Amino acid sequence: MYKHPLLNRDKMTPREALDILIEGNQRFTSRLTADRDLQNLVLLTKDKQHPFASVLSCSDSRAPVEMLFDQALGDIFSVRLAGNIASNYAIASLEFGTKYLKSKLIVVLGHSSCGAVKAACDNFEDGHISQLLELIKPAVIQESTVKQTRDSSNDDFVARVCELNIRHQMNEMVQASEIIRELLANKAIGLVGAVYDVSTGHVEFLENTVMF
C-alpha cells in the first residue's frame, strides 16, 4: 500500500494530516508540485485504500481537491457536492472515510465565487437545484452585517455567506453524526473549515474552526 513519504499513516495525528495539506497547497501555489509515479501508485493502491484526510468540497471544476493540495492517488477521500453541503449522503460518506478507512482529518472546503452560494444568495429556483440550495440558505440568513445589495452582485456578501456556509455545514455534520462526534471526542480525527481562492490557488484555513 502507498505510504505518504513523510509519515506512517497509522500513527499520523490530525495535526500532522493538516500540516501535510498546508504544505501541499504551498507547493501548488509555488509551482513546486511533487513528482510522482502515478502508474506505480495505481498498483500500490489497487487492493486497499488508506486516505489520510477526508474532504467535503464543492463540485466546481476549478477546485480539484487532490491537485490544489498536491496529493496523489490514495491520499484523500473526496466527497464533492455543489456548495460543499453536508447532506445525509455526504455525512454517510465522511463517516465511512473516517471510521472505516481511518482518515485522520475532515476538511469542509468552500471556495470563492461559488456558483451554488451565489444562487442561494439570489433565491434561485430550478429543478432539484432548489432542494440543494435550501441547505445553503441558513448561511444567507445568518449573514447580518451586509444591509444592502444582499445578492450575488455583491462580492463581499457572497464571501461572507461562503464562510458562514462552511461553518454551518460543519455544525450540521457534527450534530447529525454520532460517529463523527465520537471520533472527535476520542481525538481520533480532527475537523477544520477552509476556503479555496480560485483566483490565486491559495487555501485559507478558517480561524475558530479547528477541532482536534
48 pLDDT above the threshold of 80: yes
**Domain span holding position 180:** 9-205
In a domain, 3, yes or no: no
Asked, for residue 193, whether it belongs to a domain, the answer is yes
**What's the pLDDT at 36?**
83
The candidate with the shortest Cα–Cα distance to 115, out of 61, 65, 69, is: 61
Give Cα separations from 38 to 2, 45, 194 (angstroms): 11, 10, 27
Indicate the DSSP class of residue 74.
T
| Cell numbers for 137 | 440558505
Residue 7 in this model has a pLDDT that exceeds 80: no
* Amino acid 3: pLDDT: 53
Predicted confidence band of residue 178 (pLDDT cuts 50, 70, 90): very high
How many folded domains does the chain comprise?
Answer: 1
Within-domain flag for 34: yes
Q: Does 2 map to a domain?
A: no
* SS3 assignment, position 112: coil
3-class secondary-structure state, position 191: strand
Query: 178 in a domain, yes or no?
Result: yes
Residue 33 falls within a domain, yes or no? yes
Give the cell for residue 14: 490530525
- Indicate the pTM of the whole model: 0.94
> Within 13 A of 56's CA, how many CA atoms are on the CB side?
30
For residue 116, give the C-alpha cell.
451554488
- Residue 96 maps to a domain: yes
Read off the pLDDT band of 42 (50, 70, 90): confident
Kindly state whether residue 1 falls inside one of the protein's structural domains: no
Query: Which CATH number covers residue 14?
Result: 3.40.1050.10
Res. 5 pLDDT band, cuts 50 70 90? low
Residue closest to 82 by CA, chosen among 117, 58, 65 = 58
- The torsion of the CA quartet 153, 158, 159, 161, rounded to 10 degrees, works out to 160
Q: Is the pLDDT of residue 1 over 60?
A: no
